[in-house]
Amino acid sequence: MNKRYFTWLAVAVTIWLFTGCFVPSTITTINETPKNPARTDDKVIAEMRDRGLNKAKPFYLNEISSKAMRSFVSSYWDATDPKWVKYSGGYVVCFVRDNIRYKVYYTTDGDVQCTIRQFMVEDMPRDIRQMVESAYADYSIFQVHAVTSMEKTRYLVKIEDHESFKEIKIDDKGMVVTNAFKKSK
Protein backbone atom coordinates (compact mmCIF):
# COMPACT_ATOMS: atom_id res chain seq x y z
CA MET A 1 0.00 0.00 0.00
CA ASN A 2 2.70 2.47 1.05
CA LYS A 3 4.92 1.62 -1.93
CA ARG A 4 2.01 1.99 -4.36
CA TYR A 5 1.11 5.39 -2.88
CA PHE A 6 4.66 6.77 -3.23
CA THR A 7 4.93 5.41 -6.77
CA TRP A 8 1.66 7.10 -7.74
CA LEU A 9 2.76 10.35 -6.08
CA ALA A 10 6.10 10.31 -7.89
CA VAL A 11 4.40 9.70 -11.25
CA ALA A 12 1.86 12.49 -10.64
CA VAL A 13 4.57 15.01 -9.67
CA THR A 14 6.72 14.04 -12.66
CA ILE A 15 3.82 14.41 -15.09
CA TRP A 16 2.89 17.75 -13.52
CA LEU A 17 6.45 19.06 -13.81
CA PHE A 18 7.01 17.86 -17.39
CA THR A 19 3.69 19.05 -18.78
CA GLY A 20 4.33 22.48 -17.33
CA CYS A 21 7.87 22.69 -18.70
CA PHE A 22 6.82 23.08 -22.32
CA VAL A 23 3.65 25.11 -21.95
CA PRO A 24 3.90 28.79 -21.08
CA SER A 25 2.09 29.75 -17.93
CA THR A 26 -1.17 31.58 -18.53
CA ILE A 27 -0.70 33.63 -15.38
CA THR A 28 0.58 37.04 -16.28
CA THR A 29 -0.41 39.09 -13.28
CA ILE A 30 -1.25 38.64 -9.65
CA ASN A 31 -3.71 41.53 -9.67
CA GLU A 32 -6.82 39.48 -10.38
CA THR A 33 -9.99 40.92 -8.93
CA PRO A 34 -10.27 39.42 -5.43
CA LYS A 35 -13.50 37.90 -4.17
CA ASN A 36 -13.35 40.32 -1.28
CA PRO A 37 -12.05 43.75 -2.31
CA ALA A 38 -10.35 44.33 1.04
CA ARG A 39 -6.70 43.31 0.67
CA THR A 40 -3.76 42.99 2.98
CA ASP A 41 -1.33 45.87 2.61
CA ASP A 42 1.63 44.36 4.37
CA LYS A 43 5.14 45.82 4.43
CA VAL A 44 6.65 42.63 3.02
CA ILE A 45 4.15 42.56 0.17
CA ALA A 46 4.56 46.30 -0.47
CA GLU A 47 8.32 45.80 -0.80
CA MET A 48 7.77 42.89 -3.19
CA ARG A 49 5.41 45.02 -5.28
CA ASP A 50 8.04 47.75 -5.42
CA ARG A 51 10.57 45.21 -6.69
CA GLY A 52 8.39 44.22 -9.62
CA LEU A 53 5.54 41.94 -8.52
CA ASN A 54 3.11 44.11 -10.50
CA LYS A 55 5.29 43.65 -13.59
CA ALA A 56 4.83 39.88 -13.90
CA LYS A 57 5.30 38.43 -17.37
CA PRO A 58 4.64 35.09 -19.12
CA PHE A 59 7.19 32.37 -18.44
CA TYR A 60 7.83 28.65 -18.72
CA LEU A 61 7.42 26.58 -15.56
CA ASN A 62 10.94 25.16 -16.01
CA GLU A 63 12.24 28.69 -15.32
CA ILE A 64 11.14 28.34 -11.69
CA SER A 65 13.93 27.51 -9.28
CA SER A 66 14.07 23.75 -8.74
CA LYS A 67 14.60 24.42 -5.02
CA ALA A 68 11.36 26.43 -4.90
CA MET A 69 9.48 23.75 -6.82
CA ARG A 70 10.79 20.95 -4.54
CA SER A 71 9.94 22.98 -1.46
CA PHE A 72 6.44 23.65 -2.75
CA VAL A 73 5.74 20.03 -3.74
CA SER A 74 7.05 18.64 -0.45
CA SER A 75 5.10 21.14 1.69
CA TYR A 76 1.91 21.52 -0.34
CA TRP A 77 1.54 18.28 -2.31
CA ASP A 78 -2.25 18.45 -1.91
CA ALA A 79 -2.62 22.03 -3.21
CA THR A 80 -5.49 22.67 -5.61
CA ASP A 81 -4.70 24.36 -8.94
CA PRO A 82 -1.40 26.12 -8.11
CA LYS A 83 -0.69 29.22 -10.20
CA TRP A 84 2.87 30.53 -10.40
CA VAL A 85 3.91 34.13 -11.00
CA LYS A 86 7.48 35.18 -11.69
CA TYR A 87 8.64 38.67 -10.78
CA SER A 88 12.00 40.37 -10.32
CA GLY A 89 12.16 39.45 -6.62
CA GLY A 90 11.35 35.75 -7.09
CA TYR A 91 8.19 33.67 -7.45
CA VAL A 92 4.70 33.59 -5.98
CA VAL A 93 2.45 30.55 -6.03
CA CYS A 94 -1.27 30.95 -5.31
CA PHE A 95 -3.42 27.94 -4.50
CA VAL A 96 -6.16 26.53 -2.27
CA ARG A 97 -5.59 23.85 0.34
CA ASP A 98 -8.23 22.67 2.82
CA ASN A 99 -10.50 25.62 1.83
CA ILE A 100 -7.75 28.09 2.77
CA ARG A 101 -6.30 30.41 0.11
CA TYR A 102 -2.51 30.53 0.14
CA LYS A 103 0.14 32.75 -1.40
CA VAL A 104 3.69 31.52 -0.90
CA TYR A 105 6.51 33.88 -1.85
CA TYR A 106 9.90 32.42 -2.85
CA THR A 107 13.17 34.24 -3.50
CA THR A 108 14.95 33.76 -6.84
CA ASP A 109 17.15 31.21 -5.02
CA GLY A 110 14.06 29.22 -4.04
CA ASP A 111 13.92 30.04 -0.32
CA VAL A 112 10.51 30.75 1.24
CA GLN A 113 10.22 34.45 1.96
CA CYS A 114 6.73 34.49 3.44
CA THR A 115 3.40 32.69 3.38
CA ILE A 116 0.00 34.37 3.48
CA ARG A 117 -3.10 32.35 4.34
CA GLN A 118 -6.58 33.80 3.95
CA PHE A 119 -9.36 31.97 5.70
CA MET A 120 -12.82 32.22 7.14
CA VAL A 121 -13.61 33.19 10.72
CA GLU A 122 -14.49 29.59 11.56
CA ASP A 123 -10.96 28.49 10.64
CA MET A 124 -9.21 31.09 12.84
CA PRO A 125 -7.14 29.82 15.75
CA ARG A 126 -9.48 29.83 18.73
CA ASP A 127 -7.24 31.98 20.97
CA ILE A 128 -6.84 34.69 18.32
CA ARG A 129 -10.57 34.73 17.64
CA GLN A 130 -11.41 34.99 21.35
CA MET A 131 -8.91 37.83 21.76
CA VAL A 132 -10.58 39.85 18.98
CA GLU A 133 -14.14 39.02 20.01
CA SER A 134 -13.55 39.89 23.66
CA ALA A 135 -11.97 43.27 22.82
CA TYR A 136 -14.48 44.13 20.07
CA ALA A 137 -17.73 42.44 21.10
CA ASP A 138 -19.92 44.71 18.95
CA TYR A 139 -17.92 43.99 15.80
CA SER A 140 -18.00 41.07 13.41
CA ILE A 141 -14.91 39.60 11.77
CA PHE A 142 -15.07 39.53 7.98
CA GLN A 143 -11.52 38.79 6.84
CA VAL A 144 -8.50 37.05 8.32
CA HIS A 145 -4.95 36.79 6.97
CA ALA A 146 -2.12 34.93 8.66
CA VAL A 147 1.28 36.17 7.46
CA THR A 148 4.24 33.94 8.30
CA SER A 149 7.77 35.17 7.66
CA MET A 150 11.04 34.40 9.38
CA GLU A 151 9.23 31.73 11.44
CA LYS A 152 6.90 34.30 13.03
CA THR A 153 3.18 34.49 12.35
CA ARG A 154 1.07 37.60 12.66
CA TYR A 155 -2.63 37.91 12.01
CA LEU A 156 -4.28 40.73 10.10
CA VAL A 157 -7.96 40.79 11.01
CA LYS A 158 -10.62 43.06 9.52
CA ILE A 159 -13.74 43.74 11.56
CA GLU A 160 -16.85 45.89 11.12
CA ASP A 161 -19.87 47.17 12.97
CA HIS A 162 -22.76 49.33 11.75
CA GLU A 163 -20.68 52.51 11.70
CA SER A 164 -17.05 51.57 11.04
CA PHE A 165 -14.35 49.17 9.87
CA LYS A 166 -11.13 48.38 11.71
CA GLU A 167 -7.96 46.57 10.70
CA ILE A 168 -6.17 44.83 13.54
CA LYS A 169 -2.68 43.36 13.64
CA ILE A 170 -2.03 40.62 16.18
CA ASP A 171 1.48 39.35 16.82
CA ASP A 172 3.67 38.32 19.74
CA LYS A 173 3.68 41.94 20.97
CA GLY A 174 -0.12 42.06 21.25
CA MET A 175 -3.07 43.50 19.38
CA VAL A 176 -2.97 46.90 17.64
CA VAL A 177 -5.52 48.71 15.48
CA THR A 178 -3.62 49.67 12.32
CA ASN A 179 -6.49 51.41 10.48
CA ALA A 180 -9.98 52.61 11.35
CA PHE A 181 -12.57 53.84 8.87
CA LYS A 182 -16.07 55.27 9.27
CA LYS A 183 -18.74 53.98 6.93
CA SER A 184 -20.41 56.55 4.72
CA LYS A 185 -24.11 57.05 5.21
Over the stretch 163-177, which tens digit does the pLDDT of each residue have? 999 999 999 889 999
Pick the CATH number of 120-185 from 3.40.50.10420, 3.10.450.40, 3.50.50.60, 3.40.50.2020: 3.10.450.40
End-to-end Cα separation, the chain, in angstroms = 62
What would the DSSP string read from start to end of 158-179?
Answer: EEE-SSEEEEEEEETTEEEEEE
What pLDDT digit, counting tens, does each position of 25-81 carry? 433 333 343 333 334 435 555 655 555 555 555 667 778 888 999 999 999 999 888
